[in-house]
Amino acid sequence: MPRPSSPAAMTAALAEHAYLADRGLSTAMFLALSLGRPLLLEGEAGVGKTEVAKALAAALGVELIRLQCYEGIDAGQALYEWDYARQLLHIRALSERAAADEAAVDELFGPRFLVERPLLRALRAGGGAVLLIDEIDRADDEFEAFLLEVLSDFQVTVPELGTIAAASPPAVVLTSNRTRDLHDALKRRCLYHWIDYPGLEREVEIVAARAPDVPAALARQVAAAVARLRGLDLAKRPGVAETIDWARAVALLGADGLDPEVAVDTLGSVVKDHDDVEVVRARLGEVVGGRT
Amino acid sequence: MAAPEPPGADLVAALVGFGQALRREGLAVGSGQIVTYAQALADLDVSDAEDLYWGGRACLVSDRADVAAYDRAFQRWLGGGPGGQLKVSGAVPRRQPTLTLEPPAATTPGPPGRPERPRGSLASHAEVLRHRHFAECSPDELEALRLLMARLHLQPPLRRSRRLAPSTRGRHLDLRRSLRASLRTHGELLRPARRTRRLRPRRVVLVLDVSGSMRGCSRALLQFAHTAVSRRPSRSGVAPAPATEVFCFGTRLTRITPELARRRPDQALARAAEAVVDWEGGTRIGDSLGELVRVWGRRGLVRGAVVVICSDGLERGDPAVLATEAARLARLAHRIVWVNPLKADPRYQPLARGMAAALPFVDVFLSGHDLSSLESLADLLPTLR
């Protein structure tokens, strides 16, 4: 599928895959594609940072390659690794047959023994993939520096194989939960967008798009209740993902509307902190019905 | 890099002007970013204000905190232009912190009946300055203290990180190095190389009380915080320490790490003083700690960190709130150290309702009224395993 030609086309393409993006997000996504720059997405948990990358891959009709970051992740886990166990066995076999010639040694560091990790796969796929680097803030500074190098040139050098460069840069989406400040150099390399909680109308549309079997009236009630929940002083405010979960949970129970009883039974799908549950229970009538 | 269609000279001049306006608002916008914006505009509709706005936001802003400044500069830039007073539909208004700020007038400047400062109870003549109560220091003495503080090395305790590093011993086999080494011996694996989990210092989070009752100590503690932020001693064989974070609170919490992260101390302190809005107001420790956990803790800033709270514990809010929030903080942080200047008085007992409420969740309770007590804090830190 061709790349969208304007922000509006991007919005439409994402909407086809049940992702409703606002003007700012689609402009940022559109520019990331047309300028060949990575896009750094930040926002509260559960606002759809990861989802938008999935929707983009689906909209472009390409593979989504996901690199989940964690503390201590290094090039071996992100880029490539040799299959050492098989290499050792292979060396063993060669020496027993006394067959170790030039070609056999070349083969030892050839594609057969190379384990491709997400970054290398994305470089190879080039424009035919969306690379999602999820929760970059969980990785440490060393990995961030390494990543900067890859994202600047979209090429890496594997000593045994030579330089591997992407024919065209893949679309890259980075997400961060802001557990720490990212390095300025990386931020400058990227386009940036902060995804905010959607407004009420938008959230109702999102629930309708993501959970089509939820009745419209219920979706509206749930979205309104979640909006009021976000106004409370909670330790963990519910994201859009929670709204969708809650709407689904209530619909599954066969309730035609959200009332305090149903809300208590399904509260676990939207409020996920023990202290918060108590706060919400105490003001459930207000949250559900909008009464004070 | 050149844009596919070079934009007109007018546009370039306008963009450069916009860049300058942004810099005046305090955004660090590089020429590279302006070039990116220019390229972006070649793909967008320049006559559409929304395209201009969102395109610029994606290219020129790289932190949510900068959005407000961007909005101001954008308004001014386009305000006189063809768009007139521009109203962008999706522009996000700057979110106010959940805690509302009470006007300083509404709170009493200092709690009545606060205990008398322990004057002269610590008379040591050999190192007068070292044992001089912060509140009794003259500006010159504070300056001298700063130099002494600069020698303090905060060495946070270490934790085992998940990152593996080559090592002579260790549980993890390093196949890559083993194999490379075996090539030297014709593929015979003589000595397997190993890797071990690397050590990394924990983060230190300083939380300073700048309310009225701490008036005497605030400046000295701020100097101490500046030293902690700007000097991070490196240790061999250990990963670099994560940046020390500093927060101030009276009635509400302010993060002043970026302000303190300047080399020149007078500049750093002046900027920090500007950032804090409630100098010498009342004290709401519970609410402030709650905000620390909610806004910063959930993001991971506090998780596994050593939290050092410098406060006299004279809570004006509800002590029950303080107890709840301290408990929450204790679950998130590695250790909580409470530095209380009032503790310098040997007769002091943590009976103030706030202090008594928080104490069960505090791992170490120290005094923090003079340099020597801060030195003992520095000595204590590495031992908080």
For B:19-58, CB contacts with A below 8 A are 28, 30, 32-33, 36, 39-40, 43-45, 50-51, 54-55, 57-58
Q: Do residues B272 and B179 both lie within one domain?
A: no
**pLDDT band (50, 70, 90) for residue B109:** very low
How far is the alpha carbon of A244 from chain B, nearest alpha carbon, in Å? 22
- Which tens digits make up the pLDDT trace of B320-330? 889 988 998 99
Q: Do residues B345 and B210 both lie within one domain?
A: yes
Better-scored residue on pLDDT, B345 or B330: B330
pLDDT at position A54? 94
Tell me which of A34-48, B203-217, B277-291 is least confident. B277-291
pLDDT at position B103? 35
Q: Do residues B66 and B150 both lie within one domain?
A: no
Q: Which of the residue ranges A31-40, A98-107, B84-93, B132-141 has the most confident prediction, judged by mean pLDDT?
A: A31-40
pLDDT at position B133? 78
- Report, as an integer, the average pLDDT of B179-189: 79
- Report, as an integer, the average pLDDT of B42-59: 88
Better-scored residue on pLDDT, B167 or A203: A203
Residue B209 placed within a domain = yes
- Alpha helices, DSSP H, located in B231-277: 257-260, 265-275
Q: Do residues B140 and B35 both lie within one domain?
A: no
B324·A23 Cβ contact <8 A: no
**pLDDT band (50, 70, 90) for residue A108:** confident
- Which tens digits make up the pLDDT trace of A35-48? 999 999 998 888 98
- Report, as an integer, the average pLDDT of A92-111: 79
> Per the structure, how many domains does chain B have?
3
- The CA distance from B254 to B246, in Å, is 9
How far is the alpha carbon of B101 from chain A, nearest alpha carbon, in Å? 15
Tell me which residue in A137, A181, A194 faces B67 most closely, judged by beta carbons.
A194
**pLDDT band (50, 70, 90) for residue A203:** very high
Residue B152 placed within a domain = yes
Q: Do residues B362 and B379 both lie within one domain?
A: yes
A6·B45 Cβ contact <8 A: yes
> pTM above 0.80?
no
Q: pLDDT over 90 for what percent of chain B? A: 8
Look at residue A201 and tell me whether its pLDDT is greater than 90: yes
Residue type, B54: W
CB B18 within 8 A of CB B81: no
pLDDT at position B251? 83
Look at residue B248 and tell me whether its pLDDT is greater than 80: yes
Q: Do residues B52 and B176 both lie within one domain?
A: no
Q: Do residues B212 and B299 both lie within one domain?
A: yes
A72·B328 Cβ contact <8 A: no
What is the distance, to the nearest Å, from the Cα of residue B142 to the centroid of all Cα atoms in its chain? 23
Q: What is the CATH number of the domain that holds B283?
A: 3.40.50.410
Q: How many A/B residue pairs have CB atoms within 8 Å?
A: 121
Q: Do residues B180 and B275 both lie within one domain?
A: no
Look at residue B126 and tell me whether its pLDDT is greater than 50: no
Look at residue B188 and tell me whether its pLDDT is greater than 80: no
**pLDDT band (50, 70, 90) for residue A7:** very high
Tell me which of A158-162, A224-228, B112-116, B218-222 is least confident. B112-116
A191·B59 Cβ contact <8 A: yes
Mean pLDDT of chain B: 78
Chain B residues within an 8 Å CB radius of A178: 299
Residue B107 placed within a domain = no
B43·A34 Cβ contact <8 A: yes
A91·B239 Cβ contact <8 A: no
A23·B89 Cβ contact <8 A: yes
Residue B307 placed within a domain = yes
Burial class (CB in 10 A: 0-12, 13-18, 19+), A158: middle
How far is the alpha carbon of B254 from chain A, nearest alpha carbon, in Å? 17
**pLDDT band (50, 70, 90) for residue B88:** very low
Q: Do residues B196 and B216 both lie within one domain?
A: no
Tell me which of B162-166, B273-277, B334-338 is least confident. B273-277
Residues in CB range of A227: below 8 A, 6 or more apart: A200, A203
Tell me which residue in B55, B58, B187 faces A95 most closely, judged by beta carbons.
B187
Residue B266 placed within a domain = yes
- Taking alpha carbons only, the member of B350, B340, B345, B347 closest to residue B374 is B340
- The CA distance from B12 to B260, in Å, is 36
pLDDT at position A21? 92
A116 by DSSP, 3-state: which?
strand
B87 touches A: beta carbon within 8 Å = no
pLDDT at position B92? 41
Tell me which of A26-35, A57-66, B40-49, B266-275 is least confident. B266-275
Q: Do residues B218 and B330 both lie within one domain?
A: yes
Tell me which of A8-17, B284-293, B345-354 is least confident. B345-354
pLDDT at position A290? 55
How far is the alpha carbon of B74 from chain A, nearest alpha carbon, in Å? 15
Mean pLDDT of chain A: 89
Q: Which of the residue ranges A53-67, A259-273, B249-263 has the most confident prediction, judged by mean pLDDT?
A: A53-67
- Which tens digits make up the pLDDT trace of A250-280? 999 988 788 888 898 899 999 988 888 888 9
Q: Do residues B179 and B288 both lie within one domain?
A: no
B299 touches A: beta carbon within 8 Å = yes
Tell me which residue in B30, B182, B298 faces A236 most closely, judged by beta carbons.
B298
Residue B232 placed within a domain = yes
Chain A residues within an 8 Å CB radius of B50: 23, 27
pLDDT at position B222? 86
- Report, as an integer, the average pLDDT of B76-86: 56
Q: Which residue has the tokens 């020597």?
A: B372
B58·A92 Cβ contact <8 A: no
Chain A residues within an 8 Å CB radius of B28: 184
For B:155-214, CB contacts with A below 8 A are 161-164, 175-176, 178-179, 182, 186-187, 189, 197
- Which tens digits make up the pLDDT trace of B286-298? 889 988 988 888 7
**pLDDT band (50, 70, 90) for residue A173:** very high
Q: pLDDT over 90 for what percent of chain A? A: 50
Chain B residues within an 8 Å CB radius of A196: 92
Distances (CA, A) of B72 to B22, B24, B90, B289: 9, 11, 15, 32
Residue B115 placed within a domain = no
Tell me the residue range of the domain where B286 lies: 134-157+202-383
Q: Do residues B172 and B276 both lie within one domain?
A: no
Look at residue B384 and tell me whether its pLDDT is greater than 50: yes
CA dihedral A226, A231, A233, A238 (to 10 degrees): 30
CB B59 within 8 A of CB B37: yes
Residue B235 placed within a domain = yes
How far is the alpha carbon of B182 from chain A, nearest alpha carbon, in Å? 9
What b/e sequence results for B316-333 when a residue is b if at least 16 CB atoms lie within 10 Å of its CB, and e otherwise? Answer: bbebebbbbbbbbbbebb
